[in-house]
Amino acid sequence: MTENVQSFDYGAGAMAEQRNKVLRNTYFLLALSMLPTVLGAWLGVATGITQSLGGGLGLIVFLGGAFGFMYAIEKTKNSAAGVPVLLGFTFFMGLMLSRMIAMVLGFKNGPELIMTAFGGTAGVFFVMATLSSVIKRDLSGMGKWLFVGAMAVMIGGIINVFVGSTAAMMAISVAVIGIFSAYMLYDLKRIVDGGETNYISATLALYLDVINVFQGLLALLGIAGGERD
């Protein structure tokens, strides 16, 4: 009986250590992934390389590049190429984000809006990381509803690329912030509970949550608080 208890304790301890290792590696890689994102955004703003990617062309480039990279990440997540491919994806996302950043920088208070969006995103991440460590309830049932919500806002966003409605953009931005904040909690809880054991996949999921919350906040702040000269 004592041997069984000791074996159980050892097994539980090993599982906890594995979860903590995945969480540590994920946090480190997530922080590292912000460097190529910032570099890509800076390059895009400085060169204006993405300014011509408006409407349908921009949508095609973004969806093609994003899904292509995500497919490559999934294929390489268990190999040495996984991290470089992920960082390449984050650089691409920074480039795609540069068009919105350049637009916001066109406002008199543009830098302040960007810092506010950054601070808001960091605040959301801190809250969700804290909640994921204290909530004991299984949140796996949230996944299918969040996926439906994410698909709905993606379709709405694609339609609005051609419609160009400011009111719809504000509504979509609010929905994106809410859905991907909840996704952040869901993805973090999966790591904490041991449901995600690959730190590259975990980083990709959290990166998408973070970048979507940031974009939603930036778009909302730009529409509602942008000051023109």
Q: Nearest-CA neighbor of 180 among 154, 202, 207, 212?
A: 212
Which of these, 73, 141, 120, 75, lies nearest to 220 by C-alpha position?
120
Lowest mean pLDDT among 35-44, 57-66, 70-79, 203-212: 57-66
- Averaged pLDDT, 8-12: 51
Residue labelled with tokens 């637009």? 103
**Tokens coding 216:** 């939603």
In this prediction, residue 63 has a pLDDT band, given cuts at 50, 70 and 90, of confident
pLDDT of residue 17: 78
Is the entire prediction scored with pTM above 0.85? Answer: yes
What pLDDT is stored for residue 8 in this prediction?
A: 45
Please say whether the beta carbons of 195 and 180 come within 8 A.
no
**CA atoms of 145 and 108, how far apart (whole Å):** 39
Higher pLDDT, 30 or 18: 30
- DSSP letter for 137, please: S
Backbone angles phi, psi at 198, to 5 degrees: -105, 115
Cα Rg, the chain, nearest whole Å: 19
Q: What is the pLDDT of residues 138-193, one digit of tens each?
A: 888 888 899 999 999 989 988 888 887 888 899 999 999 999 999 999 999 998 88
Using alpha carbons, select from 148, 149, 134 the residue that is nearest to residue 188. Answer: 134
pLDDT band at 126 (very low <50, low <70, confident <90, very high): very high
List the one residue out of 174, 173, 161, 193 whose CA is nearest residue 56: 161
Query: Quick check: 124 and 64 in contact, CB under 8 A?
Result: no
